[in-house]
A and B are shown apart, each in its own frame.
Chain A
């Protein structure tokens, strides 16, 4: 990157800067006349000095009034031309500034991606993010005006000054008299303000860092009762910022005061001297007016110039700071990541390590002149204790670089290879594979998406828009690849198209032990029946098949299906009443008691009173059960219909509204009570018995609800219909088309098994699992367990079919049984390639051909497992230690 900001500007925006400069110069001509105009108007237009009327212009004869109008229109036209120039300069400046900012941010982000990994141990997210996002912002603004502003504003200043001298040099000198004071004092004060500003940025960066740390360490804060200390610390930091800002604005306002005062001192001299001369008839009034106007015009450019001078210092330092921060030693050149060789060489064959030395950032020697050869296609277990093993794996994956020595695979030195080779031919899985906040599929195919293989198809407007965006990317030196294109390298996975890839992905998931989980995600996932009518159709077939199965005695009572004519005792009142699911925002299940239509329906069938009674009963039970529990008791969240915050209010409400006077309750109280029963499932909550009479009335309410539903509300609900896919419900609920009954032991398990068998018979399990591909993994894969994340990492590596597979502690989250099973599956799958794995237990090494044992960063032993599995070997000692 260019070492100074001016070089950066000249290198990437010279053309724009020249254009801006020319524009600025061109604008000075109308500007001069714009300054002259007031004099003409006063002297000729109003005072009629040196003019004879009728005044002839282009053959027209003008009266004095018309002449004045003409002059004023001329003035207005000059204002428009002048402002037009200003407008285009500003817009063009804005564009070039934004482009440069975009280029700078892109360059910085690109650098972050090329940092050597150990850098991230010293540099935190909290530091890097604000630098790229916030701090470059002001640089963009500065870059835009770096040349044009001093030229433009300086020119304006000189034109104004020249104008003054042309009018009367005495007045001009008087106007200039005060500038030296302004030029001396204000920059000095401004400098201090800028320093404070920098201090503020640094403090804010640390503040951001602190917030980030608190979020990541929030568990420790709770567990150690450290919140108070963190609050105190945060308060102190906020205090620092407060005092810095306090000092900043104090100084700023003093500067403003001085500036304004000195600026107003100008007119003072004009009125005094100019006025005196005008009285003495040595100067005309028009000149005085024009001088005052010109001086006023001079104020703004001067202020801008001073400002610019300060900003320049600031930007220069900031740019140099950022650039030096973003160039840690060992940063790789961009070609490492961006070149795509015509043909990706294979990394099969012997792994040859020669004189490999690695020293960490504390200058501790982790690996010292390690030399060894591992035959291609062999399975190598790396065992032992202490450092060295993890680093060896990272070195083999070329994720870190050795201080000395080299590694070659199949005769190719991996050191200078671009990532297009190492990132596709080497499979690396660490202890905590990172799962991105995206769908499971995106995460699974992460190792196949390197470059766009097929452009996204845009039509009409979209195509034009993409072209415009593309041109702008080029202008800022950004990436021209389209993130919407198809990036999946099917060939790498050994398939031809997307369908085959999903079959392959399912095979790998099965192998790695993640299939069942993904199938479960699929069952709990939902689809859009319009977008995928075939699947919706298939799910309806499964629903019909299940219904038939459920005829059998023994399992018949496990599901209570939806039946328009019958009350579903395992569903909530809300579900029973709506007999469907809300779609969109027409009905909010949490706030049905506030919905006028719902209330209207209840009123129509005469259920309002009963609902109020039920609500009161629920409230009374909740108060009885939970009143003497502490407010933060977990039961509130798990079981209560009323939150601990609202409980006292309900307690009062119960006293205020006795049972027999429910009808007299205030509308607010009524609504509160009515809101409670909607979530009630009588068989589960057992708060009160629901009598057949009430069931019948609720069925009636259901009918009335559907019959009288106004068309505008009809869109807001999808009714339960045995022949229609139910949007909004997940696949499992669509298949069940009812509720699993409460209180039957293992009902859910039995049903799950039944559904599983049924889907297997209908050959729908893979289809369901594919729906599971859409599962959103959450931030850092937070919605997956540690074991699932690890399996996902393994599946990701297998799917990309590397020549050499490196497993660095890649099983730490799996239990012993799962580990052995997964390891066997991987070794069986990876018959031809080289596998190198660090293992938690020595006995697992018996599955491998060769073993390397480490102790304290030193390679103690290497050889074939069969040869080393004997008394006296280090390997044997490790086995014995288990």
Chain B
């Protein structure tokens, strides 16, 4: 794999789509290309974050710990970007990400990520957009969940 091929792959990631090719090349050169075997974790819930990952190839599951055991909440595939939350706001990882098949990623270290965000406003805007979409989705999910809870409570009260 050469830098140029990586640049082509990075360009397909929405977050980086609007960056100039030379910056993408710098990003590729300064990032680490990491391969995960199936079952290996990229990120563990509760750890402090030191990097974000771009999925270049393969698939992964996002899981959260629940009292009943791990619960898969999302799937990640090629061109997805994951792990930026914990490094943006310095909180512990909110979920675990596990490779479900051989997974090729580009690991972007925290300092590098910050540098890119501060130096390239296009990237900051793109991240805001992605995060906003996520908040919107979470809100919708919460609304659905609330509705379900109410529905169940109603059923339970009906039984009493």
Residues in A lying within 8 Å of B, measured CB to CB: 554, 621, 624-626, 628, 634-635, 638-639, 685-689, 742-746
Cβ–Cβ contact A689 & B34, under 8 A: no
B2, B22, B30: the one contacting A639 at CB < 8 Å is B30
Please encode chain B, from 1 to 16, with 1 for each CB lying within 8 Å of some chain A CB and 0 for all others.
1110010000000000
Q: Is B25 an interface residue (CB 8 A)?
A: yes
For residue A617, give the distance in angstroms from its CB to the closest CB of chain B: 11
B1, B22, B25, B36: the one contacting A745 at CB < 8 Å is B36
Cβ–Cβ contact B30 & A686, under 8 A: no
For residue B82, give the distance in angstroms from its CB to the closest CB of chain A: 14
A625, A634, A687, A743: the one contacting B32 at CB < 8 Å is A743
Inter-chain CA distance A625–B36, complex, in Å, is 28
Cβ–Cβ contact B22 & A625, under 8 A: yes
Q: List 20 A-B contacts (CB under 8 A).
A: A621-B3, A624-B25, A625-B26, A625-B29, A626-B26, A628-B22, A634-B111, A635-B26, A635-B30, A686-B28, A686-B33, A689-B2, A742-B32, A743-B33, A743-B34, A744-B34, A745-B37, A745-B40, A745-B42, A746-B40
Please encode chain B, from 23 to 58, with 1 for each CB lying within 8 Å of some chain A CB and 0 for all others.
001101110111111001010000000000000000
Inter-chain CA distance A638–B31, complex, in Å, is 11
Cβ–Cβ contact B35 & A745, under 8 A: yes
Inter-chain CA distance A689–B4, complex, in Å, is 11
A554, A639, A744, A746: the one contacting B29 at CB < 8 Å is A639
Cβ–Cβ contact B35 & A743, under 8 A: yes
Identity of the chain A residue whose Cβ is nearest the Cβ of B29 in the assembled complex: A625
Identity of the chain B residue whose Cβ is nearest the Cβ of A746 in the assembled complex: B40
Inter-chain CA distance A259–B28, complex, in Å, is 78
For residue B130, give the distance in angstroms from its CB to the closest CB of chain A: 24
For residue B118, give the distance in angstroms from its CB to the closest CB of chain A: 12
Inter-chain CA distance A686–B3, complex, in Å, is 6
Contacts A626-B26, A745-B34 aside, 10 further interface pairs with beta carbons under 8 A come to: A621-B29, A625-B22, A625-B29, A628-B22, A639-B30, A686-B29, A686-B33, A743-B33, A744-B34, A745-B42
Cβ–Cβ contact A625 & B2, under 8 A: no
Residues of A within 8 A of B25 (CB): 624-625
For residue B49, give the distance in angstroms from its CB to the closest CB of chain A: 15
Residues of A within 8 A of B111 (CB): 634
Identity of the chain B residue whose Cβ is nearest the Cβ of A624 in the assembled complex: B22
Residues of A within 8 A of B1 (CB): 686
Residues of B within 8 A of A621 (CB): 3, 29
Cβ–Cβ contact A686 & B2, under 8 A: yes
Inter-chain CA distance A816–B3, complex, in Å, is 44
Identity of the chain A residue whose Cβ is nearest the Cβ of B6 in the assembled complex: A686
Residues in B lying within 8 Å of A, measured CB to CB: 1-3, 6, 22, 25-26, 28-30, 32-37, 40, 42, 105, 111
Residues of B within 8 A of A689 (CB): 2
For residue B54, give the distance in angstroms from its CB to the closest CB of chain A: 14
Inter-chain CA distance A112–B14, complex, in Å, is 67
For residue B75, give the distance in angstroms from its CB to the closest CB of chain A: 19
Identity of the chain B residue whose Cβ is nearest the Cβ of A628 in the assembled complex: B22
Identity of the chain B residue whose Cβ is nearest the Cβ of A743 in the assembled complex: B33
Inter-chain CA distance A744–B22, complex, in Å, is 26
Residues of A within 8 A of B40 (CB): 745-746
Residues of B within 8 A of A742 (CB): 32-33
Residues of B within 8 A of A686 (CB): 1-3, 6, 28-29, 33
Residues of B within 8 A of A626 (CB): 26
Cβ–Cβ contact B3 & A687, under 8 A: yes
For residue B150, give the distance in angstroms from its CB to the closest CB of chain A: 40
Inter-chain CA distance A746–B36, complex, in Å, is 8
Inter-chain CA distance A635–B29, complex, in Å, is 10
- The 9 closest A-B CB pairs, nearest first, are A745-B36, A745-B34, A686-B3, A743-B33, A625-B26, A639-B30, A686-B2, A743-B35, A744-B35
Residues of A within 8 A of B42 (CB): 745
Inter-chain CA distance A621–B30, complex, in Å, is 13
Residues of B within 8 A of A638 (CB): 30
Residues of B within 8 A of A634 (CB): 111
Identity of the chain A residue whose Cβ is nearest the Cβ of B105 in the assembled complex: A745
Inter-chain CA distance A624–B6, complex, in Å, is 16
Residues of A within 8 A of B35 (CB): 743-745
For residue B6, give the distance in angstroms from its CB to the closest CB of chain A: 7
Inter-chain CA distance A715–B1, complex, in Å, is 39
For residue B20, give the distance in angstroms from its CB to the closest CB of chain A: 10
Cβ–Cβ contact B29 & A688, under 8 A: no
Inter-chain CA distance A621–B22, complex, in Å, is 10
Identity of the chain A residue whose Cβ is nearest the Cβ of B3 in the assembled complex: A686
Identity of the chain A residue whose Cβ is nearest the Cβ of B104 in the assembled complex: A743
Identity of the chain A residue whose Cβ is nearest the Cβ of B112 in the assembled complex: A635
Identity of the chain B residue whose Cβ is nearest the Cβ of A633 in the assembled complex: B115
Residues of A within 8 A of B32 (CB): 742-743
For residue A625, give the distance in angstroms from its CB to the closest CB of chain B: 5
Residues of A within 8 A of B2 (CB): 686-689
Most chain B CB within a 10 A radius of its CB, from A621, A634, A686: A686
Inter-chain CA distance A447–B3, complex, in Å, is 56
Residues of B within 8 A of A746 (CB): 40
Identity of the chain A residue whose Cβ is nearest the Cβ of B107 in the assembled complex: A745
Inter-chain CA distance A511–B117, complex, in Å, is 45
Identity of the chain A residue whose Cβ is nearest the Cβ of B40 in the assembled complex: A745
Inter-chain CA distance A421–B32, complex, in Å, is 57
Most chain A CB within a 10 A radius of its CB, from B6, B22, B26: B26
Inter-chain CA distance A340–B37, complex, in Å, is 65
For residue B23, give the distance in angstroms from its CB to the closest CB of chain A: 9
For residue A698, give the distance in angstroms from its CB to the closest CB of chain B: 19
Inter-chain CA distance A568–B126, complex, in Å, is 41
Inter-chain CA distance A621–B29, complex, in Å, is 10
For residue A777, give the distance in angstroms from its CB to the closest CB of chain B: 27
Inter-chain CA distance A688–B1, complex, in Å, is 9
Residues of B within 8 A of A745 (CB): 34-37, 40, 42, 105
For residue A633, give the distance in angstroms from its CB to the closest CB of chain B: 9
Identity of the chain A residue whose Cβ is nearest the Cβ of B53 in the assembled complex: A745
Inter-chain CA distance A687–B29, complex, in Å, is 8
For residue A690, give the distance in angstroms from its CB to the closest CB of chain B: 10
Inter-chain CA distance A687–B25, complex, in Å, is 10
For residue B117, give the distance in angstroms from its CB to the closest CB of chain A: 15
Identity of the chain A residue whose Cβ is nearest the Cβ of B109 in the assembled complex: A638
For residue B2, give the distance in angstroms from its CB to the closest CB of chain A: 5
Identity of the chain A residue whose Cβ is nearest the Cβ of B21 in the assembled complex: A624
Residues of B within 8 A of A639 (CB): 29-30
Residues of A within 8 A of B26 (CB): 625-626, 635
For residue B73, give the distance in angstroms from its CB to the closest CB of chain A: 22
For residue A827, give the distance in angstroms from its CB to the closest CB of chain B: 30
Inter-chain CA distance A689–B2, complex, in Å, is 6
Inter-chain CA distance A634–B35, complex, in Å, is 26
For residue B99, give the distance in angstroms from its CB to the closest CB of chain A: 8
Inter-chain CA distance A758–B36, complex, in Å, is 24
For residue A684, give the distance in angstroms from its CB to the closest CB of chain B: 8
For residue A107, give the distance in angstroms from its CB to the closest CB of chain B: 53
For residue B24, give the distance in angstroms from its CB to the closest CB of chain A: 11
Residues of A within 8 A of B33 (CB): 686, 742-743
Inter-chain CA distance A225–B105, complex, in Å, is 40
Inter-chain CA distance A554–B26, complex, in Å, is 32
Inter-chain CA distance A626–B30, complex, in Å, is 11
Most chain A CB within a 10 A radius of its CB, from B1, B26, B29, B105: B29
Identity of the chain B residue whose Cβ is nearest the Cβ of A622 in the assembled complex: B29
For residue B102, give the distance in angstroms from its CB to the closest CB of chain A: 11
Identity of the chain B residue whose Cβ is nearest the Cβ of A627 in the assembled complex: B22
Residues of B within 8 A of A625 (CB): 22, 25-26, 29
Inter-chain CA distance A711–B105, complex, in Å, is 48
Residues of B within 8 A of A687 (CB): 2-3
Identity of the chain A residue whose Cβ is nearest the Cβ of B4 in the assembled complex: A686
Residues of B within 8 A of A685 (CB): 29
Identity of the chain B residue whose Cβ is nearest the Cβ of A635 in the assembled complex: B30
Residues of A within 8 A of B22 (CB): 624-625, 628
For residue B47, give the distance in angstroms from its CB to the closest CB of chain A: 13
For residue A561, give the distance in angstroms from its CB to the closest CB of chain B: 19
Inter-chain CA distance A635–B116, complex, in Å, is 12
Inter-chain CA distance A742–B35, complex, in Å, is 9
